[in-house]
């Protein structure tokens, strides 16, 4: 049975602590959720499973996964050496200037204000992967300064329609990448010549190097 939302962050941390070392298949069985054979067509399955297990209610709405706590949940697949396997999706990237706002009011900043990172070990079938030691993180002033600088640069390029030149090489902590279930997905946007063109939807992602460093710093503080 899916639990009710946690009443505070201490309760949330107790819940995720109880999952540490558990295979995802064990968690899925307790919730009567079927584990897929792989994640090629179910990339969001791990996150959805953890949301159900921990009592998250944010869903796909424009709010944190735990709205009453202001906490976002992020699962992060790890290598055997303890390094993130991939960059981490944060939120959809607006493609036109009128959709952008300043950093303080941005959805990206709100999403990263307080994050529960849940490492996931293993690379086999999803059911065999294991929950690691979770950490609750908020950006330091130095980390936020890096994120802000990246966001402002990348948002300016998106707002000006430089879609073709903006690739994963831009940004120190953040990067902009195509974000769609199907690479053929297209949306309309104004390009640098103020012409309507069809482009892939984009998303903001945290680089592996950034998440690796933040997890190390939070863990070392314990």
Element (H, E) at 46: helix 45-54
Domain encompassing residue 178: 9-220
pLDDT at 188: 63
- Note the pLDDT of residue 190: 65
**163, part of any domain:** yes
Six-digit token pair at 95? 């493609």
In a domain, 145, yes or no: yes
On whether residue 206 sits in a domain, the answer given is: yes
Q: What is the reported pTM?
A: 0.89
In a domain, 3, yes or no: no
**Res 53: pLDDT:** 97
CATH number at 63 reads 3.40.600.10
Residue 1 resides in a domain: no
In a domain, 184, yes or no: yes
83-117 pLDDT, tens digit each: 999 999 998 888 776 567 789 999 899 999 999 99
User: Quick one: angle between helices 45-54 and 9-19, nearest 10?
Assistant: 120
> Which pLDDT belongs to residue 201?
81
Ranges of residues in the chain with a pLDDT under 70 are 60-62, 97-99, 180-183, 188-190, 192-194, 217-222
Residue 93 falls within a domain, yes or no? yes
- In whole angstroms, what is the distance from residue 79 CA to residue 123 CA? 8
Rounded CA gap, 182 and 178, in Å? Answer: 10
Do 26 and 52 meet the contact criterion of CB atoms below 8 Å apart? Answer: no
State how many domains the chain has: 1
The per-residue pLDDT for 221 is 60
**Would you call 202 helix, strand, or coil by DSSP?**
strand
* Angle, CA 209 vertex, CA 207 and CA 214 arms, to 5°: 100
Indicate whether 81 belongs to any domain: yes
């Amino acid at each position: 049975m899916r639990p009710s939302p946690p009443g505070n962050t201490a309760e949330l941390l107790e819940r995720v602590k109880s999952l540490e070392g558990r295979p995802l298949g064990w968690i899925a069985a307790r919730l009567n959720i079927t584990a897929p054979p792989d994640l090629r067509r179910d990339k969001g399955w791990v996150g959805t499973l953890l949301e159900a297990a921990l009592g998250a209610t944010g869903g796909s709405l424009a709010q944190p996964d735990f709205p009453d706590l202001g906490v976002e949940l992020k699962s992060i697949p790890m290598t055997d050496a303890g390094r993130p396997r991939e960059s981490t999706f944060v939120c959809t990237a607006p493609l036109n200037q009128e959709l952008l706002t300043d950093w303080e009011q941005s959805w990206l900043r709100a999403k990263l204000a307080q994050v529960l990172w849940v490492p996931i070990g293993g690379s086999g079938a999803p059911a065999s992967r294991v929950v690691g030691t979770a950490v609750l993180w908020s950006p330091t002033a130095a980390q936020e300064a890096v994120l802000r600088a990246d966001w402002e640069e990348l948002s300016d390029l998106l707002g000006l329609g430089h879609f073709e030149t903006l690739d994963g090489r831009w940004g120190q902590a953040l990067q902009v990448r195509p974000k769609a279930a199907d690479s053929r997905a297209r949306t309309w946007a104004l390009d640098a010549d103020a012409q309507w063109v069809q482009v892939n939807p984009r998303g903001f992602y945290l680089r592996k190097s950034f998440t690796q460093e933040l997890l190390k710093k939070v863990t070392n503080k314990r």
